[in-house]
Chains A and B, each alone.
Chain A
Amino acid sequence: MASDSASCGRRVLAVLLAELLALGPLPAAAQAGKPPAPPLPKEVFHSMQESLQRPYLDLFEEAAKLEYSPAQIEAMRKYLDQARGFCVREYRRRASAHQKERERAQADLKRRTASLEDPERRRIHCRIQNLRILESQTQMLAEHAIPVAYENKKAKLELIEKWPAELQRVRAEIASGAYHQRRFGDVKDIGVRELVPGQERDVKDGQEAVRQLKMTGLLPPELDNAVIRNYVADLARNVAARSDLRVPLNVTVLNSKEINAFALPGGFLFIQRGLLEAVEDEAQLAGVIAHEIAHVTGRHGYKLMKRATIASIIYQAAQLAAVLLTGGAATLGAYYALQYGFYGLGLVLSLDLLGVSREFELEADQLGVQYAWNAGYDPSGFIRFFDRMATREGYVNGASWFRTHPPFYARMVQTRREMMFLPQKPDLRRDSEEFRRMKAELAKVAAQAQEEEKNKPSLLAPVQGCPAPEKIEYQPGDPIEKICPVPLS
C-alpha cells in the first residue's frame, strides 16, 4: 500500500512537472523568428505605447495634444504590423508544438495500450487532454484575439494621426450649422421622421425567422429569472420608445454565455446572458441594444435578404454551424472554443438576416448613438463597451455590434462625430440602481450556469480530475504585450 501511494505521488508530481514544462516559455531557438525592434527612440516609443493603451474616449480628448510626427506614426504602424505578425507566428508555433506533442503522446498510448497499468494510462489521458486545451488556447489567441487587439491598436494610432484634423472639420460643421444636413441629422424628430418605410411588413419575416431558428434547436434556452428579464425588457422598450421603431419590440433574454445581442427584422430582439455579464454599466447595455434596434429601423435585414427566403438563410447557416460545431471538433479545437463562448448562436445567424454589412454597420452605429442619447443614456456607452471587447480574448463571433469591417477607426470616429452633433442633454444616465440589482441577480444565475457547465459530461474531454493547465489569460484592458512580450527598447 505504502509503495503504491509513493508511486502514485511520484506520478502526480510527474504530471504537474510535465504541465509546467508545457506552460513555460518556449526555448529561444523554438520561437517564431526575431521580435521586431522598437523603431523609435525609447521615450517616444514608450509614450506612444502608453497612448495606444488609452481608451478611445480619452484619445478623442487628447489626440490634439499629442505631438507625433507623421514619420513617427508611420514607423509605429509598421512596427505594429511586424509585432502582430511576430505574435501570431509565435502562437501558431506554440499551437503546432502542442499538436505535435499530443500526436506523439497518442502514438505512444496506442503502442503501449495493451501493457499499460491504469494509473499510467490515466496519466497519459490527462496529458493528451491538457495538450488539447493548450493547443486550442494558443490557436484562439493566434487566430482571433491577437489580430483583433492589434487592429484596435492601429485604429487608435490612426485616431491619433487623423482625429485632430477631423475634429477641426466637425467643429467647422457645427459652427456653420452644416451638420444639420448630414444623413439622419433630424434627431429632434426621432420617432416622427420616416427613416425607411415599411417596417410593419418585416414582422412576418421576423416571426418566420424566429420559428425557423427555434426549429434548428440551436437557440439557447430562455433565461428563467423575472428580475433580469423585466429589467432588460424595460430598458429595451425605453430605448425603442425613443427610437424610430414602428413595430412592437419583442424582447427575449437567452441563457447563454455568448457576448451577443441581435435583432431580427420586425423587432425581435434577443439578448444573451454573456452580454449582460460583460457590460459594466447601463449606458453600455443601452448602446448595444440601440445599435441592434437601429438595424431594425433601418430595415437592413430586409434590404440584404431580398432574394433569399428566411428558411433557406437559416438552413444554410445551421448547416455551416453544424460543420463548425461538430465536424471540425478534431481539427479546430471547437470543443474548447465552445468553452470560451466563442462559437455559438453567432454561427447560425446569417449576417444578411441581421442586416449586417459594411454600409449598414456605420448607419446602425450612427442611429444607435442617437437612440441611446434620445432615451437619456450616455451615448459614449457604445464606444466604451466596444473598446473593452476589442481587448477581450474570445470576443464573440458573429455579433452584429462587433464587426471588424468597417474598420474600427471608421466606426469609432463615426460614433464620436455623431455624439458631438447631438444637442446637449443634462443628466445623461450611465448607471442605475436597477442595473446593479440586475447584476446581483445575474451573478447568481451565472454561478448556477457555471456550476452546471462544470458538471457537463463530455465524450471529448472525459478524464475527470486531471491537473488542468492554467488558462493563458488575456483580460479586457490588458496590453497585448502581456501575453506576447516584445522588446521595449
Chain B
Amino acid sequence: MPRAALLILWPLLLAAQPAPLSLYLSVEDGDRLIGGLGERNFRLYEDGRPVAFRLAEPEAPAAITLLVEHSRASWVYQSDLQAAVRAFLDAAPEGHWYSLATYSHGWRVEVDFTRRKGELWAAYSALEPPMWDEIDTYDAIYEVLEKLEMLPGRRVLILIGSGLDTLSARTLQEVQQKIESVNVTVFAAAAGSMLRGMYEPYLGNTARMDLTRAEAFLNLLARKSGGQAWLPRFESAYPDIARAVFLTLQHQYRLVYESSLPRDGKFHRLRVEAFQLAGDRRRDFRVRVRDGWRR
C-alpha cells in the first residue's frame, strides 16, 4: 500500500478498531469481598463464548453521582432520604469526583462534579422544599445515565429514593435498555421501606403492586449494572450501606477486553467466573457483575 494512502487511511483504520470495554465486578464469598485475585482466577464469556481479557487497575478517580429523590410526595420518608445522603457523604472517600442531582418532576444538578464533598451536603441541606408531587424516577435515571455515559473513565450512580415512579415520559423498558447499554455501575439505597413495613397490611392491591414494582426496579438497576440495591428497614442502616458501597468500589476488579459482539441493538449475555484452585479442587466465588450488554 503506498505510504500516502496509508497516512490517509490510518485514522480510519484506527477508528475501525473496537474500543476496549472496561468491565467492573466484585467477587464475594458470603458477606466477604475477595481481593487479590489474578487474571488466571477469572473466566469471561459473552453469549456463552469465552473471551480474552486482561486485568487492569480501576480507572481513577471515579465520577460518582448521588441522585436523590426530592418530591413533595416523598416528604413522609424525608428523614430516610436525609439520613442516607448524610451517610453516603460521610463514608465517601477523598479522591473521587462527586456530584449531586435531585429529582421530582424533572431532575436538576445541584452540585456538579467536585472533589469537595462538603459542597454536596451544603447544597442538600440548603434545598428549597420541593414544588412537585411527582416522582419521575425513570426520566431522572435515564437522563442522568445519558449524561454519565458521555464521561470518560469509571462512572458510578448512587440512587437514593423509593424507586416509585409517577409520571415519567420514559417507560421502564426504555430505562432497562439504557442501563443495559451504558457502562455505569448503579447502587441503590431505598427510602421509605420502614413506612412500607408499617403500613403494608393496610394498603390496597394497587399500592402494594406499586411498591413491589418500585423495589423490583431498584434491584433491576443493580443487577443490570453490576451494582447492588438495599431496602433497609431502618434509617440506622444507611451508614453500613454507604460503607458497603464504597468498600465494594474499592475492591472492584476491572477486566478490559475487546468485545466481539455485533452492534445489533440486542441484549447479549455476559458471565464471569471467579475461582481459586487449590490442587485439583476449584473453589468458586460469587461474582457481582452486570448480566450483559445491549450493543
Contacts and interface: CB of A to CB of B under 8 A. Distances in A.
Given A322-B126, A330-B108, A456 B113 contact: yes
A463 interface: yes
A322 B116 contact: no
Interface stretch (B70-78, B143-151, B202-210, B231-239): B143-151
Contact of A459 (B12, B121, B123, B147): B147
B117 A217 contact: yes
A458 B147 CA distance: 9
B147 A462 contact: yes
Contacts of A220: 116
Contacts of B127: 327
B124 to A, nearest CB: 8
B47 interface: no
B128 interface: yes
Nearest to B151: A457
A327 B151 contact: no
Interface string A456-481: 11111011100000000000000000
Given A329-B109, A329-B112, A459-B101, A216 B63 contact: no
A460 B143 CA distance: 12
B123 A327 contact: yes
Given A459-B101, A459-B144, A218 B122 contact: yes
Contacts of B123: 322, 325-327
B111 interface: yes
Contact of A221 (B63, B115, B120, B150): B115
B99 A217 contact: no
Interface string B67-107: 00000000000000000000000000000010111000000
Nearest to A455: B152
Given A322-B122, A323-B126, A459 B117 contact: no
Given A220-B116, A321-B122, A464 B99 contact: no
Q: Among B120, B121, B122, which residue has the most Cβ atoms of chain A within 10 A?
A: B122
- Chain B at the A interface: mostly helix, strand, loop or mixed? mixed
A321 B99 CA distance: 16
Contacts of B109: 326, 329, 459-460
A159 interface: no
A216 B101 contact: no
Interface in A166-180: none
B133 interface: no
A319 B121 CA distance: 10
A1 B117 CA distance: 46
A463 B152 CA distance: 11
A318 interface: yes
B119 interface: yes
A393 B115 CA distance: 25
A335 B152 contact: no
Q: Among B65, B108, B113, B150, which residue has the most Cβ atoms of chain A within 10 A?
A: B150
Given A456-B113, A458-B112, A459-B101, A322 B119 contact: yes
B118 interface: yes
A327 B110 contact: yes
B109 to A, nearest CB: 5
Nearest to A318: B122
B110 A457 contact: no
Contacts of A221: 115
B130 interface: no
B122 A459 contact: no
Contacts of A458: 112-113, 151
B118 A216 contact: yes
Nearest to B150: A462
Contacts of A455: 152
B212 interface: no
Given A323-B126, A327-B128, A462-B147, A217 B115 contact: no
B150 A217 contact: no
A318 B120 CA distance: 11
B63 A326 contact: no
B145 to A, nearest CB: 11
Contacts of A464: 150-152
A457 B97 contact: yes
Interface string A200-228: 00000000000000011111110000000
A463 B150 contact: yes
A459 B126 contact: no
Interface in A315-339: 318-319, 321-323, 325-327, 329-330, 335
A326 B111 contact: yes
A217 B122 CA distance: 8
Contacts of B147: 459, 462
Contact of A322 (B65, B108, B125): B125
A464 B113 CA distance: 15
B143 to A, nearest CB: 10
A215 B151 CA distance: 30
A52 B112 CA distance: 41
A216 B99 contact: no
A218 B127 CA distance: 17
Contacts of B151: 457-458, 462, 464
B128 A217 contact: no
Given A321-B122, A457-B97, A218 B116 contact: yes
Contacts of A1: 12
Given A459-B65, A459-B101, A325 B119 contact: yes
B295 to A, nearest CB: 15
Given A327-B110, A327-B126, A460-B112, A218 B150 contact: no
Contacts of A216: 118, 122
A457 B119 contact: no
A456 B109 CA distance: 16
A221 B118 CA distance: 12
Nearest to B118: A217
Contacts of A217: 116-122
Interface of B: 12, 63, 65, 97, 99-101, 108-113, 115-123, 125-128, 144, 147-148, 150-153
10 contacts: A216-B122, A217-B116, A217-B120, A322-B126, A325-B123, A326-B111, A326-B119, A335-B112, A459-B148, A462-B150
Given A217-B120, A457-B152, A462-B150, 7 more contacts: A219-B118, A326-B110, A326-B111, A327-B126, A457-B99, A457-B113, A460-B109
Q: What 8 pairs between A and B have smallest CB-CB spacing?
A: A217-B118, A322-B122, A326-B123, A322-B126, A457-B63, A462-B150, A457-B151, A322-B123
